[in-house]
Structures are given as structure tokens and as C-alpha cells.
Amino acid sequence: MQHGIDEGTPADGTRVRVGQGLLSHDRYCAEIVAQTGLLRDGVAGADLAAPVPSCPGWNLAQLLRHVGEGHRWAETIVRTRAAEPLSDEKLRDLSGDPEWSPAAVDAWLAEGAARLAATLRAAGPDAEVWTPLPGEKAAFLARRFTHETAVHRADAFLAAGADFVLDSDVAGDALDEWMRLESLPQVFDYQPAKRDLLGPGRTLHFHATDAGAGVGEWLVDLTGDVIACRRAHEAAAVTARGPLNALLLLVYGRLPARRDGIEITGDARLLDWWLERVGFGV
């Protein structure tokens, strides 16, 4: 059984890089700016001290700092062609809120996104840079920060009680990336407890009702000795059906408990148990 998404894995067994997503490099660059713009619009006039329920312990100002510092961190990596990891302290340690005006926050976010997109475009997708995964290139950071920004926009919108809508091709690519990252072999190195997910009969099917058969469908197979995901229309122990946006928020743990728009058939307890144990830092 191979690691990762089966579709897109060549017959010779070599693994397609996670950064090689479903969208073009230029589209990822454009989406970083676009998603940041939508985020800025969504928080205009909001109370920066308001809590963000989907990011426990953070307020809106801290969420925005995390996004903006993340853009600057990635931009420095690409611009300097860093071969080693750079400190990410600024995007992790969010204590001590600066005295920011809403206008200052807005301009700061816009600048960071624009700089990251411009640097990624200038570098191109195949630029050799450090990434969290061996063998990846600048394309990985373009794809990762597209979806990092989009999901944190969802956090801000959920905090504000606003509807989060993401273009279907971007949402589909975000789900595909999530599945690839969640099924990497090194997941057990960083989170050994995830081995507890494995067991007989444990399969989960995610079906996007606003995408074509086999295109917006994923099977998570936990029956072997690794976590394996593939795009497939197959029977499973539990199936979650709904729009791409809703499925994306579900697997990222951002969907409210009522799970509006999601139809669950089969072993719902397996889905809940799996969701409690999956995920990666965003």
C-alpha cells in the first residue's frame, strides 16, 4: 500500500510532490492576495479583541498577526533561497498584542500578501528552498499559504458570524492537499498516537456534492499499516456528503457542531473519533 494520494502517483512508484497541486503557480500567487483581501474586507470594523472560537485562546488581532507573520516568514524563505528553516517565533508567539489601529492592520496584511505573491512569482514553482517536507520546492509554499490564508479567513468569518465561501476549485485543491499531508509517512514520526487510527473496517468516504464523481471524492483507508488516501467513489464504513466548502471546514475542524449542509451515513462515531485525532498545524 502506497503512502499518499494514489491518483497522481506514477507507475514507477515515485511520489508526486505535495506542492504540485491542481492549480497553476500563478493562480496560487493570485489567491494568496485574493484571500487576504477577502479577509481584510471581512474584518473591517470588527473588534480586534474579539475571541476566535475555532482558534482557542486567540483573539482576532492575534489571528491576523499569525497570518501576516506567516506570509513574511514564507517570503523570506523564498527570497533568500533559505536552505535551512528560519525561526517561526513571530507567527507562533502571539502574546503581547501591539497597539494597532484597524487601518494599520489592514495595510500590514495587504503588504505581506503582496510581497509573498511577488516573491513566489519571481522565483517560480521550482525554486530550491527549504520547506517543512523534504523534496519540496517553492511550489509547496505557494500552495500551502493559499490554503493557510483561506482557512484562517474562515476562522475570522466564523468568529464574525459571516458566511465563508471559497471558489470550488480552490476548495477542492485545499481538500486534496489536506489529504496528501495527512497521509504522509512521516506523520507517525511527529504524532505517534495516530497509529491508533489504524484498524480493520475503518474507512471514510468524503463526497463533494457540487463536484463530479471521482473528482470531488476521497477515501481515507485506515485498514492497513499506514494512513492511505485516494480519490475514489467507493463504499466505506462512514460517508460524509456535502458541498466542498462544508467538507473542507469539516476536516479542518472549523465546522460548527451542527454541521449544516453535511449528510452523514454509516458509522458516525468513527467519523467523530477520526476528526478528534487528525489535523495539522494551521
Over 70: is that where the pLDDT of 9 sits? no
- Model pLDDT, residue 15: 53
- Model confidence at 278, pLDDT cuts 50, 70, 90, reads confident
Q: Which of 12-16, 47-51, 73-77 has the highest mean pLDDT?
A: 73-77
What percent of the chain shows pLDDT beyond 90?
A: 68
Q: How far is CA 256 from CA 74, 197, 247, 252, 275, in A?
A: 30, 23, 12, 11, 13
The span from the CA of 282 to the CA of 151, in Å, is 8
- Model pLDDT, residue 94: 84
Give all domains of the chain, ordered by start, each with its CATH number: 25-163 (1.20.120.450), 173-275 (3.30.1050.10)
* One-character DSSP codes across 59-98: BHHHHHHHHHHHHHHHHHHHHHT-SSPPP-HHHH---S--
Helix (H) or strand (E) holding 118: helix 102-123
Over 50: is that where the pLDDT of 165 sits? yes
Over 90: is that where the pLDDT of 257 sits? no
Question: What SS3 state is found at 206?
Answer: strand
Give the mean pLDDT of the chain. 88
- Model pLDDT, residue 95: 79
Over 50: is that where the pLDDT of 8 sits? no
CB 229 within 8 A of CB 183: yes
CB 70 within 8 A of CB 89: no
- pLDDT tens profile 84-100: 999 999 888 887 667 77
Over 70: is that where the pLDDT of 7 sits? no
What percent of the chain shows pLDDT beyond 70?
A: 90
Q: What is the pTM of this model?
A: 0.90
- Model pLDDT, residue 282: 54
The span from the CA of 224 to the CA of 210, in Å, is 30
Over 70: is that where the pLDDT of 141 sits? yes
- pLDDT tens profile 107-135: 999 999 999 999 999 999 999 999 999 89
Question: What SS3 state is found at 51?
Answer: strand
- Model pLDDT, residue 187: 83
Instruction: Identify the burial level of 104 via C-beta atoms within 10 angstroms of its C-beta, where 0-12 means exposed, 13-18 middle and 19 or more buried.
Output: exposed
Among residues 141, 155, 152, the alpha carbon closest in space to that of 53 is found at 155
- Model pLDDT, residue 23: 95
- pLDDT tens profile 245-256: 999 999 999 987
Question: 15: which 3 cell numbers?
Answer: 511520489
